[in-house]
Amino acid sequence: MKKLSVFVAALLLSANLAFSADITFRLTPGIAIPGNKDYSTGFGGTAQLDLDLFGLLTVGVEGLFTTSNIDALSQSVYFYGGGAGLGFYFYPLSRLYIGLGGAGGIYQFSTTGSTDSKSFSDIYYRGYGEIGYRFSPSLTVSANGGYTNFALVKEGDSALDQINVGLSLRYTVPLSKTNSSDFVISNDQGDAAFPLFMSAYKTCPITTITIRNNTGAEVKNVHVSLRAGRYSASTYESANIKKIKKYAAVDIPLYADFSPELLRFTENGKILCELIIDYEFLGKKQQAIQNLALSVYNRNAYSWSDSTALSCFISPDTPEILEISKYIAGIARNNFFTGMNRNVQMAAAMMEALRISGIKYSDDKLTPYVQFHNSEELDSIKYPLQTINTLSGDYDELGILLASCLESVGVATGYLPLDDDFIVLVATGTKPGTEENLFANPKGCLTDESTVYFGLSMANFSKGFTKSREIAAKKIQAVLESEDTNAEFTVVHAAWEVYAPAIFSENGSYYEKPSAKALNAACEASIKDYINNDLSAVLARARKTGDANKVGIALMRMGRYAEAKAEFSKMDTVKALNNLATVYMIEKSYNSAASTYKRVLAKDPENKIAQRGLENANAKLGL
């Protein structure tokens, strides 16, 4: 018997280590109702020591005792023994306990009160069921009922079979509880968080944490949220878990709603956060708060593993960028050529304004673009405001600033990182296929499903708009014609759907705005070059077609309105007449425009362009 006890104890210990189990003590006193009429109702009970496995199964040893009387002989009889048992239990409700089990072993029989006393041993078996109330994870009190048979194996009979009814006191010692906290948190953060991506962390996890339920009972309706003090815009929920079993662990992707304060993080380091766990424990709502340290990179850190993410730096809503861009656009618009592509003119104005303000290329000695944009090492990239305040930037930083300024005045952009250059792509706002009507080298443009983009080379930023555009066109053409290049261009608005802009703002900027005179002179020179280099080539292509309407459109874009009218007047088509009326509107010849639109409507009464044009002309005439 002693060897059996040692063996069982060793079994319990090893199983506990292997399965993270608990030890349960159970005492069940009660009455014994005999099935044999010779016996009177007696008293008895069991004492059990079980290993609680998986929150479902118990296995262990027990001791048993029953006493009764044989009425005819006035004898007291005693059954006592020990064995092993197996049980199952569950909690249909938080505090409602239901258990079933069985056991078997060896009993010893003895009598007193008669000269004919005797004693013998045999085996017993029993089964039971119980239903109870869980007062705490450790203590449960139950009503217990069961059947016990003290067998006489050789005789094929039983010394006594009985129904047992009583109370069960169940006490659990939580050996698997590793510390006093209700939850054990582990954080295996692979990579530090990037302040640049602070908006993305609402949908992309910062890390995955493991939460182990250490309460000693299952928990339900678990809500896990994170807050990071002044670095949080709000307490943000990461998970809603229906149930976590006792001592079970779950992996939870951790999300956060960071505030712009994260962009004040100038060095790599850690921020102390609070992990908030709201849950139901035994039917009561509770909350646990634990500290959690998250690693964070400095605000300028960037990984080129996904070049689409660079769009986070392009931030048109930065207050200082908005102020600068609106100033430049306000001056430039006063001198725009009517009929010429607006976005080409705006790009020229924006780039020239930044250039003549003293912003220039500066080689980044620590993390140069040409080395780091193809590297797995972390790059350090300036925000637009930082580039303005330092009046310099690497290729990518100049491109980020220019794209931010253009986006702030409604000009859509993209970018194309190359080995030796960073190309800013400017949307023309015209449909694919129209590039031949805009540029001398249409093969130097990129298109998506909605528009045409022309490029500006940031490696040639200091050479001005015209040279930057010409070189970018050659490089784009080379990329398109090459079979070996892995270059991919990014459309900023599409990238923003995943990587929202990070608005880095300070107390104003040190930018000295160029004078209106200097800006107008620079823009005029750039537009003149565009006319001479590109629109002249477009005009030559149009003349080769012999189509007077195409020739007229090219002349109108060049500002040569008298020649354009002469070409449109050669044709009596709806398109040519509408274009002729457009020139009259540009020249403010509203009577001529109105009469021309009427000629169109005589040919095509439902023509929308003519209908709207006539309304505008009459409005200008006060009709």
- Same domain, yes or no: 136 and 20: yes
pLDDT-wise least confident of 230-244, 334-348, 399-413, 507-521: 507-521
205 and 283 part of one domain: yes
Distances (CA, A) of 64 to 25, 79, 622: 14, 8, 110
Considering the domain architecture, whether residues 497 and 596 belong to the same structural domain is answered as no
Ramachandran quadrant class, 609 (left: phi over 0; alpha: psi -120 to 50; beta: rest): alpha
- b/e for 519-556, b at 16 or more Cβ within 10 A? bbebbeebbebbbeebbebbbebbeeeeebbbbbbbbb
- Cβ–Cβ under 8 Å, residues 310 and 490: yes
Number of domains comprising the chain: 4
Cβ atoms of 192 and 111 closer than 8 Å: no
Q: How many CA atoms lie within 13 A of 177 on its CB side?
A: 16
Domain boundary at 276, 296, 316, which? 296
* pLDDT, position 178: 56
What's phi and psi for 326, nearest 5 deg?
Answer: -65, -35
Between 56 and 460, the higher pLDDT residue: 460
2 or 167, higher pLDDT: 167
Q: Residue 4 pLDDT more than 80? A: no
pLDDT of residue 96: 92
Q: Which domain holds residue 435?
A: 304-516
Which tens digit of pLDDT belongs to each residue from 210-224? 999 988 888 999 999
CATH number at residue 201: 2.60.40.10
Do 290 and 343 belong together in one domain? no
CATH of the domain at 547: 1.25.40.10
Please give the pLDDT value at position 339. 81
Co-location of 94 and 223 in the same domain: no
Same domain, 496 and 447: yes
* Greatest extent of the chain over all pairs of C-alpha atoms, in Å: 143
CA-nearest of 414, 408, 493 to 454 is 414
- Vertex 239: Cα angle to 237 and 243 (nearest 5): 135
Predicted local distance difference test score (pLDDT) of residue 410 = 95
* 586, pLDDT greater than 80: yes
Min mean pLDDT across 108-112, 324-328, 598-602 is at 108-112
Residues 440 and 484 in one domain: yes
Whether residue 429 is contained in a domain is answered as yes
Mean pLDDT taken over the chain: 90
Tokens of 208: 């995955």
**Are 166 and 143 in a shared domain?**
yes
- Note whether residue 311 is domain-resident: yes
End-to-end CA distance of the chain: 116
Question: In this structure, are residues 144 and 166 in contact, taking their beta carbons and an 8 Å threshold?
Answer: yes
Signed CA dihedral, 548, 554, 557, 559: sign only? negative
- Predicted pLDDT of residue 113: 65
- In a 10 Å sphere around its CB, with 0-12 CB exposed, 13-18 middle and 19+ buried, how is residue 497 labelled? exposed
The domain boundary, picked from 173, 200, 226, lies at: 173
Percentage of the chain surpassing pLDDT 90? 67
Indicate whether 522 belongs to any domain: no
Query: Residues for the chain: how many in total?
Result: 623
Q: Are residues 452 and 359 part of one domain?
A: yes
Domain membership flag for residue 157:
yes
Domain of residue 43, CATH code: 2.40.160.20
pLDDT value of residue 182:
85
> pLDDT-derived band of residue 15, with 50, 70 and 90 as boundaries?
very low
Does the structure show a pLDDT above 80 at 21?
A: no
Distance of alpha carbon 197 from the chain centroid:
10
Q: Could you list the beta-strand ranges (E) of 35-74.
A: 42-53, 57-70
Q: Does the pLDDT value for residue 441 go beyond 70?
A: yes
pLDDT at 114: 58
Which is nearest to 215 in space by CA: 134, 98, 99, 101?
134
Distance CA 112, CA 68 (A): 11
pLDDT for 403: 97
In a domain, 602, yes or no: yes
pLDDT, residue 510, reads: 74
- Domain membership flag for residue 312: yes
pLDDT digits (tens, 9 = 90+) for 91-124: 888 889 999 999 999 999 998 765 567 889 999 9
pLDDT of residue 12: 46
For residue 169, being part of any structural domain is answered with: yes
Residue 328 has pLDDT above 80, yes or no: yes
Question: What is the distance between the alpha carbons of residues 470 and 467, in angstroms, rounded to a whole number?
Answer: 5
Predicted confidence (pLDDT) at residue 547 exceeds the cutoff of 70: yes
Which residue, 145, 173, 201, sits at the end of a domain?
173
In whole angstroms, what is the distance from residue 527 CA to residue 548 CA? Answer: 24
> Of 71-75, 85-89, 376-380, which gets the smallest average pLDDT?
71-75
Whether residues 85 and 129 fall in one domain: yes
Report yes or no on 49 lying in a domain: yes
Question: Is the confidence at residue 287, as pLDDT, over 70?
Answer: yes
Average pLDDT over residues 224-234: 94
What's the rounded Cα separation, in Å, for the pair 196 and 236?
Answer: 18
Interval 118-147: pLDDT, tens: 889 999 999 999 999 999 888 999 999 999
Condensed to tens digits (0 to 9), the pLDDT of residues 458-512 reads 999 999 999 999 999 999 999 998 876 677 899 999 999 999 999 998 877 777 8
Q: Which of 281, 20, 28 is nearest to 170 (CA)?
A: 28
| Same domain, yes or no: 153 and 199 | no
Question: Which has the closest alpha carbon to 342: 557, 610, 540, 525?
Answer: 557
Phi-psi region of 247 (alpha: psi -120 to 50; beta: other; left: phi over 0): left
Q: Where are the alpha helices (DSSP H) in 505-557?
A: 516-530, 536-545, 548-557
Query: Based on the domain organization, do 292 and 308 belong to the same domain?
Result: no
